[in-house]
Structure 1
Amino acid sequence: MHSDSPALVVVAHGSRDPRALRTITRLLDRVRELRPGVDVRLGHIEISEPLLSATLDGLGPGRAVLVPLLLGRGVHIKRDLPAFAAGATLLDTRIAAPLGPHPLLVEALYERLVEAGWPVHDADDRTYRARSGTGVVLAAAGSRDPEFAADTRRTAELLSVRLGGVPVVPAYASAAAPTVPEALRALADRGRHRTAVASCFTAPGYFATRAATSAPWIAAAPLGAHPAMARLLLHRYDEALASP
């Protein structure tokens, strides 16, 4: 990439938890290390600063790609980002797809589970038998948009494959069902009593913390500044630039 490449504007939701901004800042630093010729900025939809409108105003005339730090389709993708882009009259903007579903997202989810204590695959029979009672709840923020639920289900399916067929049930912190406790009970009803919670959240915050406290076994950390997340942001950026 050359220095005249469009700016990459990472669009986060915003959070009152100060850990969120620190985490996202580290993630953007990783993106800059991978693509030093691109101007990487941050803008929030609400709550946190800098707000996306201020970030876009600060860019002035030129080109920018808005890459949502969001894990599925929903109102922010379909309504809010186009509205922000339309308001940036001095910029030629493109909006990238959300981060999920995608194999890089699944790799980050998997590695966070391993970091939390998930047993890595091997050929040992005892490990296989122990896994027969395991299950995973994929905890996500939630949305009333059915396409968000479809994206989350697809991510759960891909994670199940990555885990060697262990069942993965999507669950939501708000606005949709099932909740994390409901999904855990559903797995227990299927004989899956050794259950983990995979955190399909980009940064620490209220929802991620609440989901983790429900875990009867292990709870993965939020995706955060995982290297696969930085690569995925750049993949969506490149994808948006390559589209007609």
Structure 2
Amino acid sequence: MRRSAPLTPPLLLVAHGTRNPAGPRVVERIADAAATRLRVPVHIAYVDVIGPTVDEALREVVGPVVALPAFLAAGYHVRTDLPEQLAASGREDVTVCAPLGPAPEITEALLGRLVAVGWQPRDRIVFAAAGSSDERALADVSTAARMLGRRVGQWLQPSYVTTAAPATADVCGPADFIVPYLLAPGLFHRRLADLPVSGVAEPIGAHPSVIDLIIRRYRLAVRGDVSAA
């Protein structure tokens, strides 16, 4: 009996969007690396600020699509913006993965960024996220901090650049290393880089562990282990 070819739908990476050109460049690097590993087309869309929008990106794709929210927590954009934009597109063949974080692969990426900036196991870490007014997003950030804390043997509680408390600037000291829970560089990372500390890690970016996570999320979606939008 002749077997049918495996289903290999394209991937749509959905990010927030920023006018800072460094942000889209990071998303593009992630998309390129994922496409190389998966050997499927990887498209990009943004839920805010810049285009292409989700609807515009989906117009370029025929047939089933796997959409992966490139967010580190399931906040408003993941739970409200993206579903509304998918509904407005009229597409019923889009399977949505869980967002990037929190996840073990993100923990490994954070640790890798810390080591690269000179952190040693004896050094205190300050976990810094963008901030949100969404309680579920803050819960995800707390989970991510605990996961990294277990990995490095420290009790880590999140701090925030804006919106939520405590502020990173209020809890960091000269001997500390800041690990930004940020996907891409921009205003928030620049604010952290200006703080008087021993080191500030780079954003997570296109770390190899992030690509591993995208591969895992995609394969789960293709196997039908997540819900269709």
User: Which residue of the partner structure matches residue 212 of structure 2?
Assistant: 231
Aligned residues: percent identity? Answer: 34
Residue 179 of structure 1 deviates from its aligned partner by 1.3
| Alignment partner of 1:174 is 2:162 | yes
Distance 2:201 2:96 in 1: 30
**Residue 13 of structure 2 aligns with which residue?**
10
* Letter matched to residue 37 of structure 2: L
Give how far 1:111 is off.
0.1
One of 118, 140, 148 as aligned partner of 1:159: 148
Equivalent residue number for residue 204 of structure 1: 185
Match in the other structure for 1:26: 29
Cα deviations across residues 85-121 of structure 1 (Å, max 9, x unaligned)? 11222451122111111110000000000011112x5
- Quote the Cα distance in structure 2 between the aligned partners of 1:213 and 1:239: 40
Quick one: distance in 2 between partners of 1:215 and 1:196? 10
Looking at structure 2, the residues matched to 101 and 182 of structure 1 have their Cα atoms a distance apart, in angstroms, of 25
- Take 1:149 and 1:74, find their aligned partners in 2: how far apart are those partners? 8
| TM alignment of 1:125-144, pairs within 5 A | 131=122, 134-144=123-133
* Alignment match, 1:127: none
In structure 1, stretches of 5+ residues that fail to align are 122-130
Counterparts of 2:6 and 2:192, CA distance in 1: 41
1:201-222 CA deviation, whole Å, 9 max, x = no partner?
A: 1111111211222251110000
Deviations 1:34-62 (A, max 9, x none): 111x22110011122322221012214x1
**RMSD between aligned alpha carbons?**
1.8
How many residues are matched?
Answer: 221
C-alpha distance in 1, partners of 2:190/2:60?
Answer: 34
What TM-score do the two structures reach when normalised by structure 1?
0.84
Read off the aligned partner of 1:223 and give its amino acid letter. I
Q: CA deviation at 1:175?
A: 2.2
Greater helix share, structure number: 1
1: CA distance, partners of 2:97 / 2:129:
20
In 2 relative to 1, CA 3–183 (structure 1 residues): closer, same or farther, beyond 3 Å?
farther
Once the two structures are superposed, the pairs formed by residues 46-195 of structure 1 within 5 Å of their partners are 46-60=48-62, 62-119=63-120, 131=122, 134-163=123-152, 165-184=153-172, 194-195=175-176
Which residue of 1 is the match for residue 47 of structure 2? 45
